[in-house]
Amino acid sequence: MDTSAASTTALELARWQFAFTVSFHIIFPALTIGLASYLVTLEGLWLWKQEPRYRELYYFWAKIFAINFAMGVVSGIVMAYQFGTNWSFFSTFAGGVTGPLLAYEVLTAFFLEAGFLGVMLFGWQKVGPGLHFFATIMVATGTLISTVWILASNSWMQTPTGFTVTDGRVVPIDWLKVIFNPSFPYRLLHMTAAAYLATGLFVGASAAWHMLRGRSTPAIRTMFSMAMWLIVVLTPIQIFIGDQHGLNTLEYQPAKVAAIEGHWENVPGESVPLILFGWPDMAAEKTHYAVQLPFLGSLILTHRLYGEIPGLKQFPPNDRPNSTIVFWTFRVMVGLGVLMLALGLWGLWLRWKADLYASKPFLHFAMWMGPAGLIALLAGWITTEVGRQPWVVYNVMRTAEGVSNHSVLALSIALILFVVVYCVVFGVGLGYMLKVVAKGPDEGGGPPVDEDNLFHRPARPMSAASGDIDVPAATGN
């Protein structure tokens, strides 16, 4: 009994370590994906229209991008090694599939990003504008390619296909089926749209913060307008993708959907209600205090009035994901999605009334929605990952079978180190990002373009985000 209690603790500690490090990590790539594409847009507009506001914005967001990217890189290396340190039995078992996908991500995406990042951030005076634009495009392309591979890997763990198990390990037999597994297209689109929305909300909130302080330069208005366009267009699309993703989950991971809905069993002849709020109780096998709307559960999930979805009681207790958690994280995600929709529509209406930049309540709303995209993204990931439990590879390998044999002591030391270092380092990093945001784009500022000094001085003398250094450099010419 003692050893099993110890191993349960060890499993929980290893899961906490993974959850903690991956949750911190995903924030940075999400913003990296969104900001990289935004920077491509800005630089393209600058080259096309030659309006200074685009250059100001590029330079401004490139500084924030640089800090964010560095944090994404270093927190990402941890992920690449953690599968081996903490999930060695999973890696021995499934490395034949997850390894090649990760290797392709490094080869096609990480090198591309890192290889062109230096030129993008520091190369303004070293290469011509066309080549610089190309470097920005390569960095953005890298972020998107990276999304493809990592989501192929994660989706394969959720809905594994294209493999067989021989001699106690996974052997891929059809790589197209491995990569284009059933949940992959939905997850890929859902995550990419989420990264763009999270970035759009962050950009919009930054602009709103400045406008509420009476700073309403053309550059700030431009980024606000661009962000609001993105939100109003992308949010409905994202809601549609999410709905399709949910139907896909119902088909391949019905227990997850039952847990999300807090749905325990079907009553013959009755439709499934939609439980708006409640408290799913895993031990009592019921959802307390349920506030529910009739028919809607059936309607949303089966698109039929009396359609049934499996209830949690249809699954053996040790195959059920924790409904209490995913019920709520799912509602946080959806609730924030509804707020994003409201923000987008309100913005559209104000734009029509030519009041977009002046409405104080709207600017406040946009500002407070700044972190909403990231929170929704985290809530969504918690839903899908906790909802996958108790499996690490769905219906193939249990999470408990995949974990390394570390002592509780070693796991505790590592977890404490991670928590302390991450909170301090990434806390400070987010602080610096907000500090740059608060300074705002420099009017007339932009990357130095002094032709005389083409080869005499580094364009960005020390760091891509050295705000205190670059202002004089940019304006002194």
10 Å CB burial of residue 456 (0-12, 13-18, 19+) is exposed
Which residue matches tokens 């806390």?
427
Nearest-approach distance from CB 465 to another protein, in angstroms: 5
Q: Beta-strand (E) ranges in 299-402? A: 391-393, 397-398
Nearer to another protein, 115 or 294 (CB): 115
- In 3-state terms, what secondary structure has residue 124? coil
Nearer to another protein, 86 or 192 (CB): 86
10 Å CB burial of residue 460 (0-12, 13-18, 19+) is buried
Nearer to another protein, 309 or 414 (CB): 414
Phi/psi region, residue 160 (left: phi>0; alpha: psi -120 to 50; beta: rest), is: beta
Nearer to another protein, 361 or 456 (CB): 456
**Distance in Å from the first CA to the final CA of the chain:** 74
The C-alpha atoms of residue 193 and residue 235 are separated, in whole angstroms, by: 8
The C-alpha atoms of residue 109 and residue 52 are separated, in whole angstroms, by: 31
Cα atoms found within 13 Å of the Cα of residue 439, Cβ hemisphere only? 22
Nearer to another protein, 58 or 110 (CB): 110
What kind and span of H or E run contains 189? helix 184-212
Nearest-approach distance from CB 152 to another protein, in angstroms: 13
**What DSSP designation does 125 have?**
T
Pairing of strands 397-398, 391-393: antiparallel
Nearest-approach distance from CB 204 to another protein, in angstroms: 23
Nearest-approach distance from CB 301 to another protein, in angstroms: 37
Nearer to another protein, 90 or 330 (CB): 90
Nearer to another protein, 245 or 460 (CB): 460
- In 3-state terms, what secondary structure has residue 322? coil
Cis peptide bond N-terminal to 390, omega within 30: yes
Alpha helices in 389-407 (DSSP H): 399-402
10 Å CB burial of residue 166 (0-12, 13-18, 19+) is exposed
Nearest-approach distance from CB 434 to another protein, in angstroms: 11
Q: Which of 303, 304, 322, 320 is nearest to 312 (CA)?
A: 320
Nearest-approach distance from CB 15 to another protein, in angstroms: 16
390, 398 in Cβ contact below 8 A?
A: yes
**What DSSP designation does 445 have?**
-
Nearer to another protein, 259 or 465 (CB): 465
The C-alpha atoms of residue 448 and residue 474 are separated, in whole angstroms, by: 5
Nearest-approach distance from CB 461 to another protein, in angstroms: 4
Distance of CA 227 to the CA centre of its chain: 17
Nearer to another protein, 334 or 436 (CB): 436
Nearest-approach distance from CB 143 to another protein, in angstroms: 13
**346 is written with which tokens?**
């309100």
**463 is written with which tokens?**
């760091």
Nearest-approach distance from CB 345 to another protein, in angstroms: 37
Nearer to another protein, 231 or 437 (CB): 437
Nearer to another protein, 246 or 440 (CB): 440
10 Å CB burial of residue 54 (0-12, 13-18, 19+) is buried
Nearest-approach distance from CB 392 to another protein, in angstroms: 14
Nearest-approach distance from CB 93 to another protein, in angstroms: 8
